[in-house]
Amino acid sequence: MLEKIPFLGKVPFALLLLIAGGILTLIGTIAFVMNYAALNMAGFFYGIPMFLGGIAFKITELKPVPITQPLTAEVEALRESQANDTQKKIFEEVTRYRYGERAHLIAALKFLGLSPTDEERPEIVGIYETAVDGAYALILGFDSPMIKLQQWQGKQEKMSKFFGPDVRVEVAEPEEELIKVSIISTPKSQQTEAIAA
């Protein structure tokens, strides 16, 4: 619910609660020492629960996935004209703070059969947007020591349908245990050319 407020996904909500709760608790403590009953009660009544809430959120905090390449104006224009809702949602979901989840994209990996157990689940370690042959592409990098390249490649068609419509998925292993999943837009003009060829 809190994550639906736009700026809260970009800043650590846990830190905001810790700071606000700490300040109010400090004010309550000073007011207690100086014998200001109303301020003392307000400081403790609001400050301590906020501080404890901040600790609870911090424990369950899932940090945003790092963006590993800067966004260019060309790619931004391609995103506006070609990216489908799923590509936009994935980027938005993994580049913000989340709470109460163990990892990013758990449901998608389970659905695709790429997360048999928590220990085997690949972990997304980077994301960026680029252009591939003039089309918008969202690139996800996964640390995948247990799920090998062949297993990922065997799911390419299923991934294209899952992340679709109007995308194709390519899987590569640029480094050992690092899987690169490219979700590439297939604009209508490219689909028509492919059929004609």
Q: Tell whether 110 and 184 lie within a shared domain.
A: yes
In a domain? residue 67: no
Q: Tell whether 18 and 81 lie within a shared domain.
A: no
Say how far apart CA 23 and CA 34 lie, in whole Å: 16
CB 95 within 8 A of CB 55: no
Q: Domain total for the chain?
A: 2
Q: Is the pLDDT of residue 51 over 70?
A: yes
For residue 118, the model assigns a pLDDT of 87
Distance in Å from the first CA to the final CA of the chain: 48
More confident residue, 43 or 152: 152
Q: Which helix (H) or strand (E) holds 25?
A: helix 13-33
The tens digit of pLDDT for each residue in 76-130 reads: 999 999 999 999 999 999 999 988 888 999 989 999 999 888 899 999 999 999 9
In a domain? residue 65: no
Q: Tell whether 131 and 173 lie within a shared domain.
A: yes
Q: Tell whether 122 and 144 lie within a shared domain.
A: yes
In the numeric block, which tokens belong to residue 59? 């424990």
Report how far apart, in Å, the C-alpha atoms of 19 and of each of 3, 54, 153 are.
19, 8, 46
The tens digit of pLDDT for each residue in 19-48 reads: 999 999 888 888 888 888 877 887 888 988
Q: Tell whether 89 and 25 lie within a shared domain.
A: no
Q: Tell whether 119 and 38 lie within a shared domain.
A: no
CATH number at residue 88: 3.30.980
In a domain? residue 130: yes
Q: Tell whether 170 and 122 lie within a shared domain.
A: yes
Q: Is the pLDDT of residue 194 over 50?
A: no
> Would you say the pTM of this structure is higher than 0.85?
no
Report how far apart, in Å, the C-alpha atoms of 170 and of each of 1, 105, 149, 190, 191 are.
34, 18, 11, 16, 16
The contacts of residue 133 (CB under 8 Å, 6+ apart) are: 184
Q: What is the mean pLDDT of residues 136-149?
A: 95
In a domain? residue 185: yes
In a domain? residue 64: no
In a domain? residue 68: no
Nearest to 57 by CA among 91, 25, 12: 12
Q: Tell whether 87 and 123 lie within a shared domain.
A: yes
In a domain? residue 66: no
> Domain range holding 93?
73-196
Q: What is the mean pLDDT of residues 173-184?
A: 95
**Sign of the CA dihedral 139, 140, 145, 151?**
negative
Q: Is the pLDDT of residue 8 over 90?
A: no
In a domain? residue 93: yes
Quickly list H helices, 101-181: 106-111, 149-154, 156-163
SS3 64: coil
Q: Tell whether 10 and 86 lie within a shared domain.
A: no
Q: Tell whether 136 and 46 lie within a shared domain.
A: no
